[in-house]
Amino acid sequence: MEFVLVYIREAHPDSVLVALKDGKEVLTKIGQTETVEKRAEHAEICVAALKLSVPTVIDGEDNKVNAAYAGWPDRMYVVGKNGLIAYKGRPGPSGFLPSEVEAWLKNNTGEPAK
């Protein structure tokens, strides 16, 4: 199994979070992005601030991944080796249930999520 976080457009533009800059914690405003480069920069800031270890990719400027998967505000999917959606979680935050995905993976693959 491979887990990937897809960073889409900002759900809460102009939110402020604590980020590391030059080794120091500073308040950083995360605005809406207009370029792929800026979106990548914001993704890096958020991944570091949230101490995530999952590989992260970004949606393009055209927001096609968000549109195709209804990723806003957050959602979990399992995509099979055949490229088809095998599991589709409910929209977050109330539908963002990692334990539900873990149970689905265990019941459908015989392997626990790691």
Amino acid 24: pLDDT: 86
Model confidence at 13: pLDDT above 90: no
pLDDT recorded at residue 64: 92
Stated pTM of the model: 0.77
62 vs 22, more confident: 62
Mean pLDDT of the chain, nearest integer: 87
**Long-range contacts, stretch 54-58, CB < 8 angstroms, 24+ apart:** 54/3, 54/4, 54/5, 55/2, 55/3, 55/4, 55/5, 56/4, 56/5, 56/6, 56/7, 57/4, 57/5, 57/6, 57/7, 58/6, 58/7, 58/8
pLDDT value at residue 114? 58
At residue 6 the predicted structure's pLDDT band, cuts being 50, 70 and 90, is very high
Phi, psi of 74 (to 5 degrees): -160, 155
DSSP codes, 26-72? EEEEE---SSHHHHHHHHHHHHHHTT--S-EEE--TT-HHHHHHT-S
pLDDT recorded at residue 113: 59
What gap in Å lies between CA 94 and CA 68, rounded to an integer?
A: 21
* pLDDT, position 112: 59
